[in-house]
Structures are given as structure tokens and as C-alpha cells.
Amino acid sequence: MEYAFPEGELKIPEKPSALIILCLGDGDSRFCPRMHFITQHLQRRGFATFIFDMLSREESKIYSFNPELAAQKLVRVTQSLAKFHDLKHLPVGYFGTSNGTAVALTAASVLKTKVSTVISCSGAPALAIDHLHLINIPVLLLAGQYNSPVVTANRQTLHNLSGSKNLAVILPGVSDLFAEGKTLEQVTDISGDWFSKNLPVKKAAKHRRLKLPA
């Protein structure tokens, strides 16, 4: 099942086990092949996905990216998606890229237990530093070895988070775009495993592979 929104795209596989909202920063788009690859992988793991541009095309021509305002929008989007019949009982996880990570972490600090976990993929969690102490859910911080600013920021973020199940993973020989070899497959496998482990999903649905329409 597929729904189109002005700023995002919702796909619901058969019997979804959880909802993953992908929060893209101002350097990413839901139309890029890299993000399409990630959403397809998560759908095959049995997760419904909503891939989300924080600014619409019209807004991006007028406004600069503001993580605080974008987080307010993400909170509203999360609450709206929870009203869908097929989604209202599902646990929610966030997957953030670039400064979309700060948006995801800020929104998670507001929604508390309504969001179960956050993954930062080459993100900028330091932009949410004022909210990190409010986050008690598991957070995974992914970065390539050659993306030194993000590696450093992730290490600092670990010290500022309140939760006990936080992890920073450095992928050896990898840049910020995860373009080397099969690195993107590695990222999606790690992310799928993290969501399966840290979302309160039904055991039968955890590792099920689903066939999606071409």
C-alpha cells in the first residue's frame, strides 16, 4: 500500500511490524537513489516507511533550514501518521540523515515514549545538544571513518545522551556518503537489525522478508 504526500511518501507492506520515519536534512531528498535503496530494504524487513523532506520545494525557496521548526513539523507528522488504521498501534522509529538527525532527536525528546529509537546516519546530532539529555531511548550513531567531523560529534553525543542503550559505529574505509563498495548494504543491514532489536515488534515479524511490487 502506498500513499503520496506533498512532502513525503508512505509505504505500508503487508502486516507491518513498525513504522520508520526517515527524516532527511537539507542536503538529501526522498527522490535520491540512496534513500530509495534504504527505504526498500526496510520495507523488505517488514517495516512501514515514511520518507520525509523537512522543507517542501516551495518552502526551500523561501526559508533556510531550522531544526527546531522542522522538529515541530515532524512531531505533527508523527501524530498524523499514528491516526492511520494500519499504523496506529505500531511502534515508531526515526532514521535521520545530515541535519535531519537533529530534527529526529529533538522531536523524539518531545514525543517521549511515542518514539522507540533513533538512528543517525552520517548525521549532525550536535545541533540537538539542548535536547539530548531528555532522550532516554536507544540511539544508534553511524559514521564513515573518513567523515572525521561526524565521528567526533558522535563521540561527544554519546556523553550527552541520557539513555543507556546508545552506540556509535564507525564504518572503516568509508566516506560521508557511504558510496564505497557495498557499504550502503552494510548500513541498511545494521539499521534493520537495530530497529528489529530496539522496536517492540512482534517476534514473528522481526526478520520476515516481504515481496514488494516492482
CATH code (residue 83) = 3.40.50.1820
Q: CA 185 to CA 177: how far, in whole Å?
A: 13
- Tell me whether residue 175 is in a domain: no
Which of residues 71 and 31 earns the better pLDDT score? 71
Task: Using the predicted structure, report yes or no on whether residue 209 has a pLDDT greater than 60.
Answer: no
Q: What pLDDT shows up at residue 165?
A: 81
The predicted model gives 168-179 an average pLDDT of: 77
- Tell me whether residue 135 is in a domain: no
Q: What pLDDT shows up at residue 204?
A: 40
3-class SS letters over the chain:
CEEEECCEEEECCCCCCEEEEEEECCCCCCCCHHHHHHHHHHHHCCEEEEEEECCCHHHHHHCCCCHHHHHHHHHHHHHHHCCCCCCCCCCEEEEEEECHHHHHHHHHHHHHHHCCEEEEEEECHHHHCCCHHHCCCCEEEEEECCCHHHHHHHHHHHHHCCCCCEEEEEECCCCCCCCCCCHHHHHHHHHHHHHHHHCCCCHHHCCCCCCCCC
Q: Domain count of the chain?
A: 1
The predicted model gives 1-15 an average pLDDT of: 77
Q: What is the pTM of this model?
A: 0.87
- Tell me whether residue 85 is in a domain: yes
Q: What pLDDT shows up at residue 6?
A: 56
The pLDDT tens digits for 116-144 are 999 999 888 989 999 999 999 999 999 88
- Tell me whether residue 139 is in a domain: no
- Tell me whether residue 147 is in a domain: no
- Tell me whether residue 136 is in a domain: no
- Tell me whether residue 152 is in a domain: no
Q: Which domain holds residue 27?
A: 2-124+185-205
- Tell me whether residue 81 is in a domain: yes
